Amino acid sequence: MKRKFADKENWIRVIKKRFKLKYVDNDDFKGYISAIYIDEVTEPLAKEVLGKKLLLADKGYMWMQQFPEGKNYALTTMVNDKKEIIQWYFDICREPKINRKGIPYFDDLYLDIVVLPKGELVILDGDELEEALKDGDIGIEEYKLAWNETKRLVREINEGKNIILNSSNKYLDYIERL
């Protein structure tokens, strides 16, 4: 199981970055919000999603992560150099925590959900979750948690009821002003 930190301290692709972090307690979101401003990369990061090649990380891009309290996911909103949202990326995980340095982190439960700006949605890494269960990296309870959380989120997203996703533009503006 991978542990992922908000500051992405060991992100080899990114040579130079800036990091912001803020705790928020509002009606639509309670938890930490972080932003990584990508200033220099060894090479851009591109991925194919639903048959579309997406440039996800390059000079001038920004990734905002939201770590909601009491939830089993973290949401990354990936933004290009024109301040356009490229995609939203839900990491299904154990409830996010905070380390001794005050940096949010989570233990990844393998499943991910990608949502594109026009509403297309894809679930990723089901094979990795199956392998982790088979290899004993996770137990049956974590396996069930991952699938139950994924199904719940997909339902919320498809019904337009995921509050964090729906308020991401508001928090992009908020983190920019810090």
**Rounded mean pLDDT of the chain?**
96
Q: What is the CATH number of the domain that holds 118?
A: 2.40.380.10
CA end-to-end distance (rounded Å), the chain? 33
77-109 pLDDT per residue, tens? 999 999 999 999 999 999 999 999 999 999 999
108-157 pLDDT per residue, tens? 999 999 999 999 999 999 999 999 999 999 999 999 999 999 999 999 99
Q: Which domain holds residue 108?
A: 3-177
Is the distance from CB of 104 to CB of 92 less than 8 angstroms?
Answer: no
Domain count, the chain: 1
Res. 175: pLDDT tops 90: yes
